Amino acid sequence: MAYHKQMIPHEASPLHVSQNPKDAGFYNNPYAFYARLHALDAPVYWKEYGLWCVCGFDSVNNALRDDRFARLPPAGMPMPEHPPHLSDFAAVERHSLLALEPPKHTRIRKTVNQAFVNRHVTQMATDIEVLANRLIDGFESTNEIDLLKAYATPIPVTVIARLLGVPECECDSLLAWSHAMVRVYTMTQTKQEELDANQASKEFQQLLFDLIRQRRKSPTDDLLSHMVTLKTDPLSDDEIVSTAVLLLNAGHEATVHQIGNAIHTLLALNWPRTWVDDEKHGNAIVAESMRFDAPLHLFTRYAQQDVELHPNIVIQKGEEIALLLGAANRDPRRFNQADTFKPDRTDAASVAFGAGLHFCIGATLARLEMRIALNTLFKRMPDIKLAEQPQYQNSFHFHGLQSLNVKW
Ligand code: HEM
């Protein structure tokens, strides 16, 4: 087939779309924009990002599984580099699973996967339930609370810190470091945010190097100990630090927002609370809330060769494209009544956890945390209501609320 060269479509073309990601109307409700894209039934060129974007469910799902696309540019092509003021951030990123492709990705991912299986994620259910109940004990006697701060935020960070073996007294620092670091992934950060992210990476690394030293001397039963005591194919300290930072950051940021988004959806729709009362329905609510209002909306990939995305749209080798996960989950060609929250749908699916090589390692843990967090909250406090209409934070990629004030 004769390929056309990739071209930026003329501004007058319907495939050339403009949307400021920092526009409050947009980041509060990106779904109206997505509906516009779905009506075109084609990839679009998003002017503000300067990227071709894939939005349909099948196209996003296929691209995530397609080895002609990867998280890194093809061999021999320049790698994206961080400026010198992000050197500590870059050091932490260097061995992150999300910045690797096979064979190195396969080696580290295998180790983390083994460690996750060894820790028997599902056996953590009791621990999570105790934690959720303890948090509710702390605010139940008041009559209004920001659930994002008092409930959704502490659960994931405590769970992942315990799993890794980072002392729980460090949780506040972990949250602050993680918030500072994720700003750099939004592609719209300021220089000050980059400096803060670098400082956070430096302090985070220091803590982990200290813990790794301790675990080498006296290993325990945690994931850090598992990583430092590997006999075959051991990981270097730098690889362990990158992996631990990724698990801590990825492990809590998206989960906090998904717990918040799911509670918001259920309260806004006045959903019957009995639905979350048993495991089967709880799982269906969690799955549908991930489809309906997912926390991560955009990931990028580099073409490893020229790829024809659509007739007359060819992505050239080395070019970056965006995959709009949040749009794919609302594709009317894939989902019946895509904009309706229907936990009993027979066409259930979502790409909220990605797909293919980089599919979320923590998906089982995240689903478990969400089900227990929702179930415990609605069982203990069936009368909670939204105290005000919550606002989403100004970071389109991380689609989560600024706060979630509820009353009872
Ligand atoms: C609701 C919560 C979560 C959501 C929506 C989510 C979503 C995702 C997505 C979409 C990816 C794939 C990124 C890509 O393909 O470029 C991913 C990867 C990853 N996630 Fe999650 N995640 C969540 C929770 C967690 C948790 C709890 C952990 C760890 C305990 C975790 C650890 C990871 C890791 C390590 C990767 C990288 C995997 C790889 O590159 O091989 N995530 N996640």
Q: Tens of pLDDT along 154-207?
A: 999 999 999 899 998 898 999 999 989 988 877 667 889 999 999 999 999 999
- Per-position DSSP letters for 320-378, written without gaps between them: EEEEEHHHHTT-TTTSTTTTS--TT-TT----TT--GGG--TTHHHHHHHHHHHHHHHH
CA nearest to 285, candidates 348, 334, 360, 362:
348
- Backbone angles phi and psi of 16, in degrees to 5: -100, 105
Are 265 and 341 within 8 A, CB to CB?
A: yes
Whole-number percent of the chain with pLDDT over 70: 96
**Helix (H) and strand (E) counts in the chain:** 15, 11
What's the sign of the alpha-carbon dihedral 361, 366, 368, 371?
negative
Check if 160 has its Cβ closer than 6 Å to any atom of ligand 1.
yes
| Residue 102 alpha carbon to ligand 1 centre in Å | 17
Ligand 1 mean position to 98 CA, how many Å?
A: 9
Domain covering 16-407: architecture: Orthogonal Bundle (1.10)
**Euclidean distance between CA atoms 71 and 99, whole angstroms:** 6
Shortest-distance atom of ligand 1 to CA 367: 1
pLDDT bucket at 119, cuts 50 / 70 / 90? low
Task: Establish whether residue 97 lines the binding site of ligand 1, counting it when its CB lies within 6 angstroms of any ligand atom.
Answer: yes
Q: Give pLDDT, residue 212.
A: 96
Structure confidence by residue, pLDDT tens digits, 15-55: 999 999 999 999 999 999 999 999 999 999 999 999 999 99
**pLDDT at position 1 over 60:** no
CB of 366 within 6 A of ligand 1: the answer is yes
**Ligand 1 binding pocket includes 362 (Cβ within 6 Å):** yes
pLDDT of residue 265 exceeding 80, the answer is yes
Q: Ligand 1 centre from 358 Cα, in Å?
A: 8
Kindly state if the Cβ of 396 falls inside 6 Å of ligand 1: no
Summarised one tens digit per residue, pLDDT across range 299-351 is: 999 999 999 999 889 999 999 999 999 999 999 999 999 999 999 999 999 99
Q: Which two tokens stand for residue 304?
A: 């490893």
Domain ranges of the chain: 16-407
152: Cβ below 6 Å to ligand 1? no
Stronger pLDDT, 304 or 81, i.e. the higher one:
304
Predicted pLDDT of residue 278: 80
Q: Distance between CA atoms of 277 and 100, rounded to whole angstroms?
A: 40
Ligand 1 contacts CB of residue 353 (under 6 A):
yes
* pLDDT recorded at residue 10: 83
Q: Which atom of ligand 1 is nearest to the CA of 243?
A: 35
Question: Is residue 273 scored above 70 in pLDDT?
Answer: yes
Q: Which atom of ligand 1 is nearest to the CA of 97?
A: 40
In the predicted model, is pLDDT for residue 358 greater than 60? yes
More confident residue, 114 or 104: 104
For the CA of 369, the nearest atom of ligand 1:
27
pLDDT of residue 275: 64
Position 397 confidence tier, pLDDT thresholds 50, 70, 90: confident
- Convert 185-202 into a string of H (helix), E (strand) and C (coil): HHCCCCHHHHHHHHHHHH
Is the pLDDT at 57 greater than 80, yes or no? yes
How much distance in Å is there from the Cα of 99 to the middle of ligand 1? 13
Q: Which of 112-116, 284-288, 350-354 has the lowest mean pLDDT?
A: 112-116
pLDDT band of 239, cuts 50, 70, 90:
very high
Taking all residues of the chain, what is their mean pLDDT, rounded to a whole number? 92
Give the model's confidence band at 3: pLDDT under 50 very low, under 70 low, under 90 confident, else very high.
very low
Is 263 within 8 Å of 371 (Cβ atoms)?
no
CA of 335 to the centre of ligand 1 (A): 23
Least confident of 22-36, 54-68, 230-244: 230-244
Max mean pLDDT among 122-131, 222-231, 234-243 falls in 234-243
* Alpha carbon distance 185, 205 (integer Å): 18
Indicate if the pLDDT at residue 4 is higher than 70: no
Which of 258, 360, 367, 398 has most ligand 1 atoms within 8 Å of CB, for mutation? 360
pLDDT above 90 for 80: no
Nearest-CA residue for ligand 1 atom 12 is 354
Closest atom of ligand 1 to 365 CA is: 27
**Ligand 1 and 258: CB distance under 6 A:** yes
- Quick: pLDDT tens for 193-218: 999 999 999 999 999 999 999 999 99
Q: What sign results for the dihedral spanned by CA atoms 123, 127, 130, 131?
A: negative
Q: Whose CA is nearest to atom 1 of ligand 1?
A: 255
Q: Is there an atom of ligand 1 within 6 Å of 109 CB?
A: yes
pLDDT at position 6 = 54
